[in-house]
Structure 1
Amino acid sequence: MTKRNKILLKNIDWIVVIFYIIIIFFGCINLYSVSPEKAEKQLIWILLSFIFIFFIFLFQPIHYKHITPFLFIFTLFLLIGVFFFGKNINGSKSWYVFGPISFQPSELAKISTSLIIAHIMSQENNIENNKKTLLYISIILVLPAFLIFLQPDPGSSIVFSSFLLTLYREGLSISFIFYFLFFIFLFVVSLNLSPWIIVLFLFIIFILLFFFKKKISLIDLFFYIFLFVSFSVCSILSPFLFQKFLKQHHKDRINILFKNEFDRKYRDNVGYNLLYSKTAIGSGKFFGKGYQKGTVTKGKFVPEQHTDYIFCTVGEEWGFVGSIILIIFYLLFISRIYFLSERQKDVFGRIFGYSVGSILFIHLIINLGMVMGLFPTIGIVLPFFSYGGSSFWSFTVLLFIFVRIDASDQTSLI
């Protein structure tokens, strides 16, 4: 081993790597309880991931900057090509299948989008004051998210909202994030309330803003009008887009939020997963039933328990205590990534690190929300924990590109 490689290994943040190994290990244990066959396959994918890690460390950080634009364009071609050459699985045409191997390009999109955003933003000091850069970033985020939404895979497209945390760290006003979240809120609420009532409500709010604000410039006036029109159009188009682009099972999963899984219309179909997921988690009580002693898990009452609903196994067999410990491990893991991001001398590394941490964080929040009925079932896996080769490899590549960048950054004299 050369001196340079010894220095590189010494500078690897082993705390992050240890968190990674612990979460993987605990994930495999729980997956084995659900399905020993799938746990064996997962172990194979974990071992193969070491090949990816090896190649990641062969490249210098500068190489990632150079290939970023080409990788992003290649990803867009894959996302478009899946409409023509992809295979329809579970109602979404979002997979390439080559014999026994399947590949989901939306997973690659997370990596390429993280890299290109870091590449572009690292060349600017403040994105809020640079409207041109902000426009580029918006297009970069919307393109893959929109293509993924059309597959339709609304869950994976929502993951791209995680980049708002990265943009906020780099100077984006909190107002932009608020507007984005309000758009989502209006879209969902308009599905169950008359859009025209919402438009009237918005109109009253904007009138009150004008009434209480003493002085309004012409720019402010145009801005408020733009917001009112945008929010109103969102409310009016929401039911149309909901009916036109989403499959029936996607619609039902969203409607459950306004009803409940006990509703006769949903109890025996799309609400079935959520009903038994809550049952499994609740039955674990404080300390759990014990490893491989979960009756709901053993009875295989929860479909997709090895992927989207793997957390309900933790709740049933390890109880409240085990669930909280796992969540704490995830939060410490993600916090460590944010900490490493802040210490980067190179802006590219900081932005990319924040993107990695934010993607893991949004996956964690949405997945936990799904299994507890706080969020619709949209196919968001628990990182490094749920069964699946494509998702596991994409998270591993994301993480270890950052680990590689961080290790090199610590040897930099900048």
Structure 2
Amino acid sequence: MSQNRLLQGIDWTVIILGLILLIFGIMNVYSVDSERGIKQIIWFSLGLGMILGMIVVSGNNRNFFETYSPVIYIISVLLLVGVLLVGKEINGAKAWYSFGPVSLQPAEFAKIGTSLLIANLINHSGTNLRDISFLGRIALIVIIPISLILMQPDLGSVIIFCSLSIPLYREGFHPMIILSPIIALVIFLISIVQIPFYVLLVFGFIVLVIVLLILSFNYNKEIEDACYGSLIGLFIFFLLLIGSAYIIGQLDEETRLGFGHLFPNRALYFSEPIFFNTLIFGGFGALITLIPVVIMKLSYEKETSSSPFKLQSGVAANVMTVSIITSIVVLLFTSTISFISPIIFEKLPKHQKERVMVLYEGEAKYRDTSGYNLLYSKTAIGSGELFGKGYNEGTIKRGRFVPEQWTDYIFCTVGEEWGFVGSVGVVILYALFIGRIFYLAENQKNKFARFYGYSVASILFFHYFINIAMVMGLFPTVGIPLPFFSYGGSSLWGFTILIGIFLIINYRQNQSLI
């Protein structure tokens, strides 16, 4: 095979953009800690060695990663089980294997195994994306690693698994697939500081207003059927809220408070005014929901009675059924999240609780504890002004005001030394890099390659977006590294292998067309 033919199919855009980000990332780690900067080069070299090993092992087998995806997934799950038994605890999480000076975080590789196995499942011929059992299998594949990671606990890695909703949506799953993780996260954060019953009432009314607005400006029959199903789901949701409030409200105060013993503010969450207000506003919501349902029902009956077919089309009926089931599941899921979030929050270690509360109360209140990093991170970014202080000239960095700045808070070094212009440049580079991967994924020839490509781009996007938002105080501080910038062998190997596998798949497919 000629050299030109061998090089055809390699996507140099992704490789060049990735190398630019990597080099700039290593420069910033080196600026904070020269020894770690040199180690980062070693980690990347070892990651490249792993990629070369995969190229050799896969040979000319275009379906290698699809064929062995179950094996890769099982190995990643076993690594998660093993770390709970023999792992090393760091910062309150038992999430690392320790081999002398080297530490390995298996959660980074679980993302790869999970993405590959779901891609394999979706690529099978005859799969029905609306089939409940098929959805159940995908849910099981995701829930197993998430459950194991929660036991460590590592909330940051769990959040990253939510990125898989984007490729699922691309493959034709219901739009709520992509919205559910976002809604769940928002509900979780709000329910920590607000009464769950009230949170769910507000959520229900927001969804109701959105559905009614869509109906008011819609001329598409399929969307109308989906809205009809969503309204039925909302009606059931309000009835369940009313029923729960009524049953608990009928209990005497001692029993009621005992029932809510797990809640940190049970005297407030289970007081009589809460249940009375839930009954009133829940009933109001159910009434408003019922009116358009009845009107649309009568309209459907009138249309079908004058139709020669007498029955609603199978497609419309299916859209309604799926919409009803999806809306009920999503609403019940958010209800569960809302009620268990105060319990989960109460069980978290003190420093993790403070990290979340910083989002509501500001870092100044926790400046001596969990708000310290964020306070000086924002100070460092702001001090860089437009063009920065210059490479290796950051005074806040040199003063070591941000502990372990070379890890999750590395972006504040970019802000301080390279300024607003440098920070925007990094953001644009990431956008081009991730956008190119999305583009390649969309142009793949089979569902396996397409889904995995979308998974790669989505995982990178979540890491990049949440990390930068976290460093600027727009998101609670969680352990999410910035790809190619944050120091660490596990994360760098994970990102390198994640992208490397996709580039190999893309190369094999392009070679097969030559």
**What TM-score bracket applies, with the shorter chain setting the length?**
over 0.9
**Pick aligned residue for 2:360 from 251, 258, 263:** 258
**Contact 1:162–1:355 (CA<8 Å) still a contact in 2?**
yes
Aligned residue in 1 for 2:292? 212
Matched, 1:27 2:127: no
Return the offset for 1:227: 4.8
Return the offset for 1:175: 2.3
Give the Cα–Cα distance (whole angstroms) in 2 for the partners of residues 189 and 322 of structure 1: 34
Give the Cα–Cα distance (whole angstroms) in 2 for the partners of residues 95 and 111 of structure 1: 17
The aligned runs of 1:201-350 (5 Å cut-off) are: 201=202, 202=204, 203=238, 204=282, 205-213=285-293, 214-215=295-296, 227-244=330-347, 246-263=348-365, 266-350=366-450
Aligned residue in 1 for 2:453? 353
Paired positions, count: 409
308-317 or 95-104: bigger deviation: 95-104
Alpha-carbon displacement from aligned partner over 1:38-62 (angstroms, at most 9, x marks no partner): 1011111122222112112211332
Which amino acid in structure 2 is aligned with residue 9 of structure 1?
A: L
**Contact 2:351–2:369 (CA<8 Å) still a contact in 1?**
no
Give the Cα–Cα distance (whole angstroms) in 2 for the partners of residues 84 and 155 of structure 1: 21
Alpha-carbon displacement from aligned partner over 1:230-251 (angstroms, at most 9, x marks no partner): 433322221112223x222111
Aligned residue in 2 for 1:366? 466
Q: Which runs of 5+ in 1 are unaligned?
A: none
380-389 or 172-181: bigger deviation: 172-181
Distance 1:230 1:74, change over 3 A: same
**Contact 1:288–1:320 (CA<8 Å) still a contact in 2?**
yes
Give the TM-score of the pair, scaled to structure 2. 0.76
Aligned residue in 1 for 2:235? none
Aligned residue in 2 for 1:400? 500
Aligned residue in 1 for 2:164? 163
Matched, 1:140 2:243: no
Which amino acid in structure 2 is aligned with residue 251 of structure 1?
A: K
Which amino acid in structure 2 is aligned with residue 128 of structure 1?
A: L
Give the Cα–Cα distance (whole angstroms) in 2 for the partners of residues 80 and 207 of structure 1: 49
Return the offset for 1:132: 2.4
Give the Cα–Cα distance (whole angstroms) in 2 for the partners of residues 383 and 224 of structure 1: 35
Q: Over the residues paired in the alignment, what is the CA RMSD in angstroms?
A: 2.1
Distance 1:372 1:207, change over 3 A: farther
Distance 1:355 1:224, change over 3 A: closer
Return the offset for 1:200: 4.3
Return the offset for 1:181: 2.1
Matched, 1:118 2:220: no
Aligned residue in 2 for 1:65? 66
Distance 1:145 1:124, change over 3 A: farther
**Contact 2:8–2:510 (CA<8 Å) still a contact in 1?**
no
**Contact 1:42–1:388 (CA<8 Å) still a contact in 2?**
yes
Give the Cα–Cα distance (whole angstroms) in 1 for the partners of residues 422 and 467 of structure 2: 17
Q: Which runs of 5+ in 2 are unaligned?
A: 205-237, 239-281, 298-316
- Counterpart secondary structure, 2:344: helix
Return the offset for 1:349: 1.2
- Counterpart secondary structure, 1:128: coil
Which amino acid in structure 2 is aligned with residue 66 of structure 1?
A: T
Return the offset for 1:316: 0.6
Aligned residue in 1 for 2:183? 182
Give the Cα–Cα distance (whole angstroms) in 2 for the partners of residues 206 and 317 of structure 1: 56
Aligned residue in 1 for 2:192? 191
